[in-house]
Amino acid sequence: MSDSGGASGRSPRADAADPLSPDPTRFSVRRSGGRLTLDGVDLAELASDLGTPTYVYAIRQVCARYRAFRGAFTGVPLTVAYAVKANGHQAILSALAAMGAGADVVSGGELTRALAAGVPPSRIVFSGVGKTDAELDLALGSEVGAIHLESAGELARLDARAAALGRTARVGLRVNPDIVVDTHASLKTGERTSKFGIAFAEIGEVSRSLAMRPRLTLAGLSCHIGSQLKTADRHIAAADRLLESIPSLRAAGHPVDYVDLGGGMGIPYQPTEPDFDLGTLAAALAPRVRGAAVELVLEPGRFIVGNAGVLLTRVVDRKRRAGRWFVVVDAGYTDLARPALYGAHHMIVPCRWPSPTDPCLTLDVAGPICDSSDFLARGRRLHLPAVGDVLAILSAGAYGMSMASTFCARPLPCEVMVRDGEARVIRPRQTVDDLHRTEAVPNWSTSEPGRGNPPHGAPAENQK
Ligand code: LLP
């Protein structure tokens, strides 16, 4: 996942081989003449029209990935609960909802988004390690398909809220399956030491407690072992662990009609990386879920949207320091956090193709933020772009905009959706005014600063 650092210097142009080879379709973009396009839209022109940084999503690719995911499990009773956190834009959610997708949500905000986009409540699963009472109330009131419990304490809280509201709910136990996965440390969620889920040893106790709470029905077991996993074997191991518990739960009177294995199906971030092998996963899971007479729920996020999106950024400066080339661009970790946060590799491709005779260099692509971690790539072999050139950062459809922030008073990027050569702005660029519009400057009751402050929570005078 991580970039290797690298020495700088000139090199033969053979190093500048087409970065999209061998299969450009996996990254959605295409070279068309000297131009880079996304579903027929010229990305450099789009950047000139709308400015940068700008996210661009190919909705056909999103739908194709959803269909491919579903298609791999033909004949298996399956709900695809799209992980809203990957990219929760209404235009994406509503397209997926129209194709029959459910949603995996982890906050009241995501639940509200999914409902607004038309996802039927019965196809929504509410996960999340720290659900507040207000979020539990929203889930109860919305009659979501299942609320995934993280602990005995959360079970007691949910029951109390259900009693207070006169509601019932289907719940799942989010189990920590203690499965070691091969991915970045921050993306591992199913190991024994992780903060997520209920330990295997606690399932008996929590299910006995559930049996005494008639408002709540134990409908399923869930887990999410980690993200950006490259092979299916860990999901299969997780399925076996979860399915093992079902006979004793059913014998104790719990219906347990589904098993939810979470998301985590990885995508290629480089041409040499394989796509996740859904065929192997489906072939292994089909007899298991049939044998256990359960419905399967899967929560892919990245697999559906990751390679359907790019982030456009413009080169604002370039310089050479201590033998290293720095290309400074107008997108930083506020726009795409993954390279700085996880050392993640995102391909960077020029929107106007360089001449084959242009030399290739090893360079660092840096963002504008006052933090030395603000890089989009380090030690990357690229043609040295000119100031003003537009670069496309690939595989940015998942965990790009959804993790963006406004640090350094940087407005959130514009978002655009493309289809068949047409582009539509689906979220205008935030303005600097938007950033401080809701800030209040207190008008203290005493003229002496620091004295006579109103108690915490008291409204500032200009808000009264
Ligand atoms: N279900 C649950 C309960 C999850 O926690 C997640 C991701 C998913 C499904 C979807 O996983 P996916 O299919 O997208 O791998 N910010 C990180 C990713 C964190 C994912 C957290 N949970 C990144 O940029 O790689």
Q: Do 193 and 143 fall into the same domain?
A: yes
Q: Do 199 and 318 fall into the same domain?
A: no
| Domain membership of residue 394 as a residue range | 12-58+307-432
- Residue 111 inside a domain? The answer is no
Which sequence positions are flagged as catalytic? 370
Ligand 1 site-directed mutation target among 299, 333, 393, most atoms within 8 Å of CB:
299
Could you read off the pLDDT of 173-208 as tens digits, one per residue?
999 988 888 888 888 887 788 888 899 899 999 999
Q: What is the pLDDT, as a whole number, of residue 356?
A: 77
Residue 462 has pLDDT above 80, yes or no: no
Q: How far is the C-alpha of 381 from the C-alpha of 15, rounded, in Å?
A: 7
Could you read off the pLDDT of 43-99 as tens digits, one per residue?
999 999 999 999 999 999 999 999 999 999 999 999 999 999 999 999 999 999 999
Closest CA to 228 of 311, 346, 149, 332: 346
Q: Do 296 and 314 fall into the same domain?
A: no
In the predicted model, what is the mean pLDDT of residues 123-132? 96
For CA atoms 63, 64, 67, 69, the dihedral sign is negative
Could you read off the pLDDT of 325-346 as tens digits, one per residue?
999 999 999 999 999 999 999 9
Residue 447 has pLDDT above 50, yes or no: yes
Q: Do 285 and 353 fall into the same domain?
A: no
Q: Do 311 and 289 fall into the same domain?
A: no
Residue 24 has pLDDT above 70, yes or no: no
Q: Do 140 and 269 fall into the same domain?
A: yes
pLDDT-derived band at 6, boundaries 50, 70, 90: very low
Residue-averaged pLDDT of the chain: 91
Ligand 1, atom 16, lies closest to the CA of 399
Give CB contacts under 8 A, 24+ apart, made by 33-40.
Answer: 33/353, 34/352, 34/353, 35/351, 35/352, 35/353, 36/349, 36/350, 36/351, 36/352, 36/353, 36/392, 38/310, 38/418, 39/418, 39/419, 39/420, 39/421, 40/418, 40/420, 40/421, 40/422
Among 254, 284, 300, identify where a domain stops: 300
Ligand 1 site-directed mutation target among 224, 278, 303, most atoms within 8 Å of CB:
224
pTM of the predicted protein model? 0.92
Q: What is the pLDDT, as a whole number, of residue 339?
A: 98
Q: Do 420 and 399 fall into the same domain?
A: yes
Q: What is the pLDDT, as a whole number, of residue 453?
A: 53
Atom number in ligand 1 closest to CA 266: 15
- Residue 70 inside a domain? The answer is no
Q: What is the pLDDT, as a whole number, of residue 456?
A: 58
Residue 352 has pLDDT above 60, yes or no: yes
Atom number in ligand 1 closest to CA 300: 13
Q: Ligand 1 mean position to 106 CA, how many Å?
A: 10
pLDDT-derived band at 4, boundaries 50, 70, 90: very low
Q: Ligand 1 mean position to 58 CA, how many Å?
A: 21
Q: Do 319 and 425 fall into the same domain?
A: yes
Residues in the ligand 1 pocket, defined by CB under 6 Å = 83, 85-86, 104, 127, 187, 224, 227-228, 262-265, 299-303, 338, 398-399
Q: What is the pLDDT, as a whole number, of residue 307?
A: 97
Could you read off the pLDDT of 144-169 as tens digits, one per residue?
999 999 999 999 999 999 999 999 99
Ligand 1, atom 5, lies closest to the CA of 224
Most confidently predicted of 201-205, 353-357, 460-464: 201-205
Q: Give the CA-trace dihedral at 91, 261, 71, 420, to 10 degrees.
A: 20
